[in-house]
Amino acid sequence: MRILITGITGRIGANLTAALVKEGHQVRGLVWPKDDRTEKLRGLGVDLLRGSLTEAADVRRAVEGMEAVYHLGAAFQGGGPFSEADYFEINVRGTFLMLEAARAEKGLLHFFFASTDAVYEKYVPGGLRGPIREDLMPRRPRGWYALSKSVGEELCNGYWRTYRTPATVLRFCLVVGAGEVLDFPQFYLSKLRASHPELAPFWGGEERLLLLKDPDGRPYKKHIADVRDIVSGCACALGKQEALGETFQLAGPAPFTWREAVPHLSLRLGIPYVEALVEGTPTFYEFDLSKARNRLGFQPKYDIIRMIDDAMAFRQGKDIGVLPTG
């Protein structure tokens, strides 16, 4: 299948490219002219086009002749800095231009839009009491990134209803690439002590890991994903007719708690940890992945322990089948 990937140089785009090429697909990438991260794609036989999501001619040229599109390119919270106008032009207008080009491409079989769990209100006093289900949890985006992605979802849904443009929305949770889980800020005392005065007594000048608990004594709980699981979810949705016009949440096989992750991370890194109650809104949520499992055959397999172990292996120079994030 002939497949276009926008955002092809990102952690998801690059690894998805490698997976699709391995399966025998022909991949084209639309690359922002100022993006110099194409080295990781060398040797994959990918057709790279320089162009911008905000230029209609560039978008039409990229989509022409394609049978499937993964629209991953966006202004996002971890990049930038981006202004409100940037989020609108790149994420909203850019998605409109992509959908217009997809609508005009008669041979297009599938259009995937990468959205985000930032459209949910996940952080609430006391934490969420039940798992998040994509068809039941309302979208309540805050900030321009989440708002732009929510608008992008509505554009995809509207083009499916109005023009039968074969769109599917894939909502990603926090995705970590090779080695990145080892640097997650909420695991480290040095990263949080300035924003949480109650942690000051634990600081003695040396790094400590934090096993965070909410005021009720529950360890924090979070649902993230290894990039390899997100790539698997993107790939298994390709060509599924039951995915058209639908939204799917993708994440790792299960949420993790700080009680699971921090002692293991402490053992692997050789950094002691302390247990600490912190005030304020906790991190306490998880996703119900039954829709993606049942309809797409999505089977994520990288839990937090495997992610930590593989991250350590990657930093030691071992091949874990993941392209670098930079």
25 in a structural domain: yes
* CATH for 26: 3.40.50.720
275 in a structural domain: no
Chain Cα centroid distance, residue 275: 29
Distance CA 265, CA 261 (A): 6
127 in a structural domain: yes
How many residues does this entry show for the chain?
326
Half-sphere exposure (Cβ direction) of 196: Cα atoms closer than 13 Å:
23
For 118, 283, 294, the CA distances from 198, given in Å and listed in that order, are: 28, 17, 44
* pLDDT at residue 193 tops 90: yes
Can you give the pLDDT at residue 40? Answer: 85
104 in a structural domain: yes
283 in a structural domain: no
Full residue range of the structural domain in which residue 19 is found: 2-175+224-251+288-300
Distance CA 52, CA 230 (A): 25
Burial (0-12, 13-18, 19+ Cβ within 10 Å), 113: buried
Provide the domain count of the chain. 1
* pLDDT at residue 319 tops 70: yes
**Is pLDDT larger for residue 324 or for residue 89?**
89
161 in a structural domain: yes
* pLDDT at residue 23 tops 90: yes
How is residue 222 written in tokens? 């979070």
The model's pTM: 0.94
Can you give the pLDDT at residue 178? Answer: 80
**Is pLDDT larger for residue 76 or for residue 49?**
49
* pLDDT at residue 35 tops 90: no
pLDDT in tens, 125-170: 999 999 999 999 999 999 999 999 999 999 999 999 999 999 999 9
247 in a structural domain: yes
Confidence of residue 322 (pLDDT cuts 50, 70, 90): confident
204 in a structural domain: no
Q: Could you give the angle at the alpha carbon of 306 between the alpha carbons of 75 and 227, nearest 5°?
A: 20
Q: Which residue in 76, 239, 89 sits closest to 168, CA to CA?
A: 239
Distance CA 63, CA 112 (A): 13
pLDDT in tens, 232-283: 999 999 999 999 999 999 999 999 999 999 999 999 999 999 999 999 999 9
* pLDDT at residue 36 tops 90: no
